[in-house]
Amino acid sequence: MEVHKGLADVVVSETSLSAIVEGNLSYVGYNIDELVEKNVTFEEIVFLLWNLRMPTRKEYDQLCEDLHEHMALSESVVACLKIQCRQNLHPMSVLRTTVSLLGVFDPYAEDTDKRSVYIQAVSIQAKIPTIIAAFARLRRGLDPIAPRKDLSFVANFLYMMTGEEANPELIEAFNHVMVLHADHDLNASTFTARVAASTLTDVYSCITGAIGALKGPLHGGANERVFDMLSEISESDPIDVPGYLKKKLDNKEKIMGFGHRVYKTEDPRKKHLKRMAEQLSKDFGKEALYSLSCEVEEYLLKEKGLIPNVDFYSATVYHCFGIEHDLFTLLFAMSRVSGWLGHVFEQQREDTLIRPRSKYVGPTNLSYTPMDEEEHIGGDRK
């Protein structure tokens, strides 16, 4: 059997959700450049990824109403979040555990009819921003803020984080970030969700597994590591970008936010995030961080031919929103869950168990010796 490490370039399924063709990314046939430039709302993207078409006005309004209806957290969930506000517990672990708890508290979590699965999906999609905002406030000793029915999905999240309505420009920028992160072919977390869905397990289990995969620093957790790197460089005296990066490269350390398994020239999402990083850094007085990011990009391109991926400039964007860096990956999950759920639905329709093979390379032809006999003959039982 031929082995493809990491399943590189192995096609294991068909999908109608997203495509990467000649360096372009599209959702159900819509190029992401157009979706961003025309200010398509994140709610429209959710409908698109779940239904494989854009909504009518009536369908859009119904989805928004359903999301608002399921956005609030129960007192039991908030109590569990308070318990998790201890030091050294990564926020992604909090999100993973809390999403799993949603299934525990949902009396219909095991129901598999179409309507029940839709409500489970809406509940997960709607509650994740509320979970993130509530946790962010609770760990600072502040009370959670309830969502409002008169605000959009993105505007609600920003409001629940601060208690103040964000300005339209900030809402638009954050909406763009959400759209750009919604889906992306068969990445590690999406594959995790599909593998789980192929076993016919419940939706909560599929998304819990996907969050666990996204937590890893080689996947969604990279944006957090990007900010750590930029902070280390900016806090050094003197600031020496070439020296810092050269040392990393000489030590064979991975530079987070650079390189991609699929894109070899440019990640199509990067140009939008870089543009937003430039504008937001001006708006919030973070120009030095943006300039530093550009210097890092230029050095790595010149010296190693490395290109930024979606994580690199998203770190600067998230920071400009005033969000703590250990919450960055949770924002990724808040968007990507729309794609995960779309893939869960698609895998359920496919109704095929994902069960690859592995090539055995361990020892062979060993003979078992009971422990008592081993002691008598003085051998070494391994």
Of all residues in the chain, the percent with pLDDT exceeding 70 is 97
Contact (CB, 8 A) for 316 and 178: no
Q: Is the pLDDT of residue 374 over 70?
A: no
pLDDT of residue 257: 87
Report the C-alpha gap between 40 and 61 in whole angstroms: 14
The predicted-structure confidence for 234-253, as pLDDT tens digits, reads as follows 998 889 999 999 999 999 99
When pLDDT is averaged across residues 106-118 and rounded to a whole number, the result is 95
The predicted-structure confidence for 256-292, as pLDDT tens digits, reads as follows 888 776 766 788 999 999 999 999 999 999 999 999 9
pLDDT of residue 264: 66
Residue type at 89? L
When pLDDT is averaged across residues 281-304 and rounded to a whole number, the result is 94
pLDDT of residue 373: 78
Q: Which of 285-294, 314-323, 331-340, 372-381 has the lowest mean pLDDT?
A: 372-381
pLDDT of residue 237: 84
23 — pLDDT class (breaks 50, 70, 90): confident
pLDDT of residue 276: 95
Catalytic one of 260, 283, 325, 326: 260
Of all residues in the chain, the percent with pLDDT exceeding 90 is 81
Q: Is the pLDDT of residue 377 over 70?
A: no
The SS3 call for residue 15 is coil
Contact (CB, 8 A) for 41 and 338: no
The SS3 call for residue 28 is coil
pLDDT of residue 378: 55
Is 4 annotated in the active site? Answer: no
pLDDT of residue 12: 85
When pLDDT is averaged across residues 197-226 and rounded to a whole number, the result is 93
The strands making up 24-27's β-sheet, listed across from edge to edge, are 18-21, 24-27, 30-31
Q: Which of 63-77, 269-283, 365-379 has the lowest mean pLDDT?
A: 365-379
Write down the mean pLDDT value for the chain: 93
pLDDT of residue 261: 66
Q: Is the pLDDT of residue 167 over 80?
A: yes
For each of the domains in the chain, give its residue range(s) and CATH number, in order of start: 29-219+327-350 (1.10.580.10), 222-320 (1.10.230.10)
Q: pTM to 2 decimals?
A: 0.92
Is 181 annotated in the active site? Answer: no
222 — pLDDT class (breaks 50, 70, 90): confident
Report the C-alpha gap between 60 and 100 in whole angstroms: 28
Residues 6 or more apart from 72 whose CB is under 8 A from it? 130, 146, 147
What distance, in Å, lies between the first and last C-alpha atoms of the chain?
29
25's enclosing H/E stretch is strand 24-27
